[in-house]
Every structure is written in structure tokens, then in C-alpha cells.
A and B are shown apart, each in its own frame.
With several copies, the nearest count.
Chain A
Amino acid sequence: MDFRLEVSERDAWSIVAVSGEIDVATSPRFRERLIELISTGNHRIVVDLRWVDFIDSTGLGVLIGALKRLRSHEGELRLVIDDPRVLKIFDITGLDQVFEIDSVLDTAAP
């Protein structure tokens, strides 16, 4: 299945660009990669979801876990979302009030 993840650095931020579908098949890789980043000291993370076509509750769970880990390190997690279909699942779960969500990368990692 279509899932890719690329990590780059930008000033103090690690940018995790995800593309494809985040579901039960692909979220283990997503979770692993985020945990690895956080445990190696990257505590300001932007997850760029602009090329994600689909995310379900498994993907939301990964982001919740990452947020918890980062908070315990006084870190920060921001999301970039511009697709209304992806935004909708954050909206209806109420998670749009929990995550900091930007629609462009520039404001997410200033």
C-alpha cells in the first residue's frame, strides 16, 4: 500500500512529511519512526500531512501517542493539513482542539 515518510530538518524543527494512507497496516511504521525521532532528542516536530489521502483512528492514535511523549519532554508537535477530508476527522473527533494545526508549512515551522 501507498505510504511514505520523509524526515528533514528546518531550524529547530524536525519535519516529518507523510504521504499515502495511514491505517492499521501503515501506522506501525509511522509510530516507530516518531518514537525513534523523539527518543533521539528531536522534541520539536512538525508532521506534514498534506500528501495524506486517508487517515483513520489508528493514525490519530499514533499522533496522540507522539503528543504525549513530546509533552513529557517539554516538546512541541504541530500538524500541517490542507485537505478538508483529512481535516474533517480531526474536526469530528474534537482533536482539532488538541493539536496545533496549520494549513501551510511556513507557519507550522517558523
Chain B
Amino acid sequence: MSAEPIASVSDGDEEVIELVIPPRPDVVSVARLVVGAAVAMDPAFDEERSADLRLAASEACTNAIEAQLARRTGHDDSRSIILRCSLGRERIVMTVQDHGGGFDPDALVAHPEVTDPARLDHEDGLGIPLIRLLSDELEFRDSPGGTTVVMTFGPRPTTGRIG
């Protein structure tokens, strides 16, 4: 390495960190680590907001992995999952792309509210509602062989509740 301190990169409009992982449950923690490190690059996002992004990343990657590993129509369990964080001005766009065969988010049937005793019959179904709450914008796009979840985050931490 040179002895001189390195000039920092000319501040472009956007910086991208991308992580490509196999569809294995034990790499979701790696995804969270990378998201935490990416968020730390923007001082507008504090520790609490960083936790929101790590949680959203965890949920989206978990869904992507589950879709690819499930024996579902069109799934491809050999393909990688791509997590991408694009850092703009006080705005982070996080995308998770899978090859899980795709799904229709509008066709999802909502479970009863959590305070309804019948809700206890379902261990699942909290992932997408959490992502929706944590992000400022959420979009599910069809992409070749699967889905790309596009989540946009501003620096303000979540305060609302599901439902």
C-alpha cells in the first residue's frame, strides 16, 4: 500500500454494494452483515434505522431462499440470490432477486390480526407485512425465473405497527 492517505472517491450520485449468495439458510446472516455495513456508509441512517434495513433484508432473503428451495413450479435451487444496496442521497434502495418461480403478491390471503386467537394457527405470514412496514416503498417485480423485491428506505426509523 502507498504511504499516502488515499483520496476518497469523488462523490458520485450512487454507490452500490452487491452480494451474491447461494440459496442456503445460513447465508442470511451474511446478507444482514453486508446491509449493516452498507447502511453505515450513509451517516443519515442511525443505528435504529440500520436495524430496520437488516430486518427487511433478512425477511426478503429468507423468502427468496425458501422460494428457491421449495419444490415449487419454476423454482431453480441452483441459482444465486442477488442482494443489492444502492446508496443515494439519504435514500437506500435495496433489491433482492431470486429464481424462485415468482408469485402474485396481490393474491396472498391475509391471516387474522395478531390479537385474534385464530392467528396462532399460523406461524408464517409476517415477513411481507414487516417489510412493508419497515420500508418507505415496496414493490415486487417479476424477473426472469422469479421475483425481484425492491425496497426503498429513507433515514427515518419505523414507528408504526402492522395492521
Query: A residues engaging B (CB < 8 A)?
Result: 1, 21, 23-25, 28, 31-32, 54, 56-58, 60-62, 64-65, 67-68, 71, 85, 88-89, 91-95, 97-98
B32, CB-defined interface residue at 8 Å: yes
19 contacts between A and B (CB under 8 A): A1-B26, A23-B58, A23-B62, A25-B25, A25-B26, A54-B54, A54-B58, A56-B55, A56-B130, A57-B59, A57-B126, A58-B62, A85-B51, A92-B160, A92-B161, A92-B162, A94-B161, A94-B163, A98-B119
Residue of B nearest to A62 (CB): B123
Given contacts A61-B123, A62-B123, A93-B162, 16 further A-B contacts (CB under 8 A): A24-B65, A24-B66, A54-B32, A57-B59, A57-B124, A60-B126, A61-B1, A61-B124, A61-B126, A64-B119, A92-B158, A92-B160, A92-B162, A94-B113, A94-B161, A97-B114
Question: Would A97 and B115 count as touching, CB distance under 8 A?
Answer: yes
Give every chain B residue within 8 A of A88 (Cβ-Cβ): 48, 51
Question: Would A61 and B3 count as touching, CB distance under 8 A?
Answer: yes
How far is it, in angstroms, between the C-alpha of A58 and the C-alpha of B26 when the chains are bound? 13
* Contact-residue bracket for chain B: 35 or more
Residue of B nearest to A3 (CB): B29
Identify the interface centre among A54, A62, A92, A93: most chain B CB within 10 Å of its CB.
A92
How far is it, in angstroms, between the C-alpha of A65 and the C-alpha of B123 when the chains are bound? 6
Question: Would B62 and A98 count as touching, CB distance under 8 A?
Answer: no
How far is it, in angstroms, between the C-alpha of A50 and the C-alpha of B100 when the chains are bound? 35
Residue of A nearest to B130 (CB): A57
- Number of cross-chain contacts by CB at 8 Å: 95
Give every chain A residue within 8 A of B133 (Cβ-Cβ): 92
| Given A1-B29, A23-B62, A65-B3 contact (CB < 8 Å) | yes
How far is it, in angstroms, between the C-alpha of A58 and the C-alpha of B28 when the chains are bound? 12
How far is it, in angstroms, between the C-alpha of A36 and the C-alpha of B52 when the chains are bound? 32
How far is it, in angstroms, between the C-alpha of A98 and the C-alpha of B29 when the chains are bound? 27
Partner of A98 from the list B26, B115, B129 (CB cut-off 8 Å) is B115
Question: Would B123 and A64 count as touching, CB distance under 8 A?
Answer: yes
| CB-CB contacts below 8 Å: B32-81 with A | 32, 40, 48, 51, 54-55, 58-59, 62, 65-66
Give every chain B residue within 8 A of A57 (Cβ-Cβ): 1, 59, 62, 124, 126-127, 130
Identify the interface centre among A31, A57, A97, A98: most chain B CB within 10 Å of its CB.
A57
Give every chain A residue within 8 A of B51 (Cβ-Cβ): 85, 88
Question: Would B26 and A93 count as touching, CB distance under 8 A?
Answer: no
Give every chain A residue within 8 A of B66 (Cβ-Cβ): 24
